[in-house]
Structure 1
């Protein structure tokens, strides 16, 4: 696999890695290191190095290491070769993605040490949304305050949204440039995007990955007055950050953040879990309706990521009642075997409903390949 890319997706406590050829899509090595914290990254990358050796991969034959970085702010609007200045720039953006940028940064530092002769490329989740229309990107704040503080909608999950939109077009057999899509990336983090002609026109995450849909531990949309109220009750910025990032969303409502655990609790008749599930579905349905309006109708609604790909009840419940908008789910198709891209809408549905697996590692490898001319 000459000139393959080592892709690293560093989470808060895990590290996914994969060596693949972005042209043939062949994978040589893949795996996950679990229970990693920032103090244990050197050990994690020793495991990656061992996996490469056991898989017969010589780092000298690789094109580069590609890193998923959640927040690039206004500075990084495309795949970027990492040097000392870029590393510092990613560190300066930690405040906008405190759960996500620190582990990515740890991964970059570890691989720059472990593989000093390899090119390192950062691929940013925010980059896909860099050119959002001003009406979607702009918050209705004092414009001088917003400009000075760099406040705008940046979005997230852009690597996945862009990849899935392209795969949906391939599945439908139509040019992406002709399509209007609502893409729903539903995992522990969750976001929606309205995509027209391959370009995003709106997305649910905002300045940070806190806004929008209900998530595993994050609240999504919330009245800013709630935060002011808590500040007046003695909360400071650190307590608010901990509340919003770790004790909200499904965790805050039901005491669990994994959607599978939530489903089991609902089945047991747990009232708090039922409420959490209903809140999740309500918010999702509201965004689907809003983005159908933003787009003036859509060719397809596309579910992806761990929850989106594997929770048929959620897909059906979230879209229930939207038949007047041309959205009808076929129960048998929806509950059919999971696998590659598939249609789950009824034959008479004006809007196709699809399930399309995401592949962020492949998308990152392709961007690295394109940047470096591999």
Structure 2
């Protein structure tokens, strides 16, 4: 059997995670932490490129890996223009759009840039991304917001949602494309997607904090109140964005973004913590109900995933609300590096074909 050697890279806000896989076997999984002081010396995320890719290469050498033996380099996809789901070869157009941050600046934009750089140093190596956060398979009707000035954007935890759905289908012994699933990613941000025969036809914008509130995001706030607040508070655009993304949800109510802290507070009798925890789970359950309507009630399963899905209290709360719709399955945690590696392996084994990045700019 051929041995395919894969390097998976996931740049995050304060860390760079990477892993080495030989076929399905993880040989190295490492998280490089970056302090706020270290990152503050760079004027933009793009300026962090040399720093982060250098740390990866140095760590690989230090761990005794022959960098030249890694032929499939796959990075987390960033905020380029929207794409359908799949594995993509990194090309110059993708690199430009990731560098420009055409849909925003985020550390994930460095994913294709670092993957491409490392692949270019290795004879015969190729660089890829898979299921980026801008994966867009929305039905046209789902894009309509209520005013032509605004259009719904598909930005969500596509990599983990797709990986979890495929894992579930494999467990059942059926193709992912044969199922109708509702997948709820419960993490620092929350996204709930309707997976219809392999396509996510509707999902809340998890980046901007639409939908349920989460440990860090405010969710769908009352429109009239937020308009008044924006004009009357004297806050800057950056302040308001932080209120919605980063300083909303648990952070705003309870001064922590750690769901484990909130659960412990509730367990010890903090009634406010219990109410806020219940309210978040309640909103997730409501979103799952909305997606059941999208799928016209034909739901084969509801999948709960992400770090917050480790909480038996929260998953039980949601299950009680929605199990009348379909069986509920819990896949706690998220392993985006494993998901990336598996996507690269699918290409290596010719189980799928890498696509060309040619976005349709809306």
- Normalising by the smaller structure, the TM-score range is 0.7 to 0.9
Q: Give the corresponding residue for 1:67.
A: 75
* Structure 1 pair 176–74 and aligned structure 2 pair: CA distance change class (3 A): closer
How far apart are 1:93 and its partner, in Å? 3.2
**TM-score, with structure 1 as normaliser:** 0.79
1:135 alignment partner in structure 2? 141
- The answer (yes or no) to whether the contact 2:154–2:204 under 8 Å persists in 1 is no
List per-residue Cα deviations over 1:185-227 (Å, max 9, x = no partner).
1111221111122222211226x44212222211122233333
Displacement after TM superposition at 1:107 (Å): 5.2
* Separation in structure 2 between the aligned mates of residue 322 and residue 106 of structure 1, nearest angstrom: 38
Which string of whole-angstrom CA distances, capped at 9 and with x for unpartnered residues, describes residues 243-262 of structure 1? 11221111111111011111
The gaps in structure 2 that reach 5 residues or longer are 43-47, 351-362
Change in CA separation of 1:321 and 1:212 when aligned onto 2, cut-off 3 Å:
closer
Deviates more, 1:156-165 or 1:74-83: 74-83
Distance 1:322 1:244, change over 3 A: closer
Q: How many residues align?
A: 334
User: Contact 1:5/1:63 (CA < 8 Å) preserved in 2?
Assistant: yes
Is the deviation greater in 184-193 or in 103-112? 103-112
After TM superposition, where is structure 1 displaced by more than 6 Å over at least 4 residues in a row? Answer: none
| Structure 1 residue 110, shift from structure 2 partner | 5.2
Which ranges in structure 1 are unaligned for 5 or more consecutive residues?
Answer: 327-350
Q: Which residue of 1 aligns with 2:337?
A: 361
How far apart, CA to CA, are the structure 2 residues paired with 1:322 and 1:367? Answer: 31
Q: Is the 8 A contact 1:6 1:62 kept in 2?
A: yes
3-state SS, counterpart of residue 279 of structure 1: helix
CA RMSD of aligned residues (A): 2.8
Matched-pair contact (CA < 8 Å) for 2:210–2:219: yes
1:294-305 to 2 correspondences below 5 Å? 294-295=294-295, 296-305=297-306
Aligned equivalent of 1:104? 108
Residues 343-369 of structure 1: CA deviation (Å, up to 9, x unaligned):
xxxxxxxx2221235442233234445
Instruction: Label 1:108 to 1:178 Cα distance change in 2 as closer, same or farther (>3 A).
Output: closer
SS at match of 1:167: helix
TM-superposed deviation, 1:275: 2.7
Q: Is the 8 A contact 1:70 1:124 kept in 2?
A: no
Change (3 A) 1:256 1:164: same
1:77–1:126 CA contact under 8 A, matched in 2 = no
* Aligned 1:220-299 pairs, distance under 5 A: 220-233=219-232, 234-295=234-295, 296-299=297-300
C-alpha contact 1:12 1:36 (8 A) present in aligned 2: no
**Partner residue in 1 for 2:5:** 4
Q: TM-score w.r.t. structure 2 length?
A: 0.81
Partner Cα separation in structure 2 for residue 271 and residue 312 of structure 1: 19
